[in-house]
Amino acid sequence: MPAFDLTAWPPPGATPVDVADMYEVLAERGYDYGPVFQGLKRAWTAGEDIFAEVELDESAHTDAARFGLHPALLDSTMHALGLQTADPGSGPAEDDRPALPFFWEGVRLFASGPTALRVRLTGSGDDTVSLAMADTAGEPVLSVDGLTLRPVSVEQLAGVGGGGGLHEVVWRSLVTAGVVEGPVEAAVFEV
């Protein structure tokens, strides 16, 4: 069984944080989240800990059972990390570079298919956090001993959005060794 308890909610002694403008602030920092990925609903801080409520967009509820943890819901759990570097109402700090998940350590799934979560994020190093996630009744869903984040430039983030992705299929004619008459089309993945 996990060594965390998120049944007392909102977190006792924690200070509420206004997250109404959080997605505008994240957009200023270079993160461009569509509606399904805008799941951060409420947040609190207590010392070094950040607590959050995240919820999967209703349009994705039917897909939640297909995953141990829906990717959009998992991604939303990390949006509260933006509270560490700047007050959501004040805009991004000057040295505030976007960071992306880089290395996951000690990931344990206890339940699958939730559409909403309670989350505790705890800094365990300059660029590493641990995560504890529970369903809305406080039952454990997932824990992560360490998630290392790596900074990227705003230009790098902008390069992956809008016109495609990191990978694309390109059709190229291949020259054969006489086994087949004429050119052959093949799919090649390019990065």
Domain ranges, ordered by start, for the chain: 15-163
- The tens digit of pLDDT for each residue in 61-99 reads 999 999 999 999 999 999 988 776 544 433 333 346 678
Least confident range from 112-126, 149-163, 171-185: namely 171-185
Tell me the fold of 15-163.
Answer: Thiol Ester Dehydrase; Chain A (3.10.129)
pTM: 0.76
Alpha helices in the chain (DSSP H): 22-28, 71-77, 154-159
- Of 62, 71, 70, 82, give the one whose Cα is nearest residue 149: 82
CA atoms within 13 A of residue 77's CA, in its CB half-sphere? 27
The pLDDT, as a whole number, for residue 59 is: 92
State pLDDT tens for residues 130-158. Answer: 999 999 999 999 999 999 999 887 777 66
- pLDDT of amino acid 29: 82
Per 3-state DSSP, what percentage of the chain is helix, strand, and coil (rounded to 5)?
20, 35, 45
User: Tell me, what's the pLDDT at 182?
Assistant: 56
Q: pLDDT per residue over 10-66, tens digit each?
A: 999 999 999 999 999 888 888 888 899 999 999 999 998 999 999 999 999 999 999
Write out the two tokens for 28.
Answer: 């200023």
